Amino acid sequence: MTRERLSCKNCSKPPAPGKVRCEECAELHNLTEAKRRAERRAAGLCVVCGAPAALDDDGEPQSLCPADRETYAYRREQRKQRAKRKRTRGKETRA
């Protein structure tokens, strides 16, 4: 259970329901992050951390560095395993 925030993470306004920022700050944050990702992608850098991006088979930069690619691959595998366990538990309770 998470605690409800009383004020926006960036200003003193109340946050949007279930969020940490008010709608105005969230929109500004999203625009800033989109601009940062676009600039990094254009420069051939990792969109997450700004390190040099991994190269694909054609020598073109991908959008993630090797470390972040590994992290996201690990997280993706963990999600698959959790979903599989959840499906398996559901079958056990029905039987």
The answer on pLDDT for 94 being more than 70 is no
Q: Please enumerate in sequence order all residues whose Cβ is within 8 A of that of 58, keeping only pairs 6 or more positions apart, or say none.
A: none
Give domain status of residue 21, yes or no: no
In-domain check, residue 71 = yes
- Which pairs from 34-42 meet CB under 8 Å and 24+ separation? none
Please indicate, yes or no, if residue 69 is contained in any of the structural domains.
yes
Q: What percent of the chain has pLDDT over 70?
A: 91
Has residue 67 got a pLDDT over 50?
A: yes
Range of the domain at 72: 43-94
Give per-residue pLDDT as tens, 5-32: 789 999 999 999 889 999 999 999 999 9
56 versus 94: the higher-pLDDT residue is 56
**Block residue for tokens 């691959």:** 73
Average pLDDT, the chain: 89
The CA distance from 48 to 90, in Å, is: 36
Number of domains the chain is built from: 1
pLDDT at 56: 86
Cα–Cα distance measured from residue 57 to residue 39, given in angstroms and rounded to the nearest whole number:
23
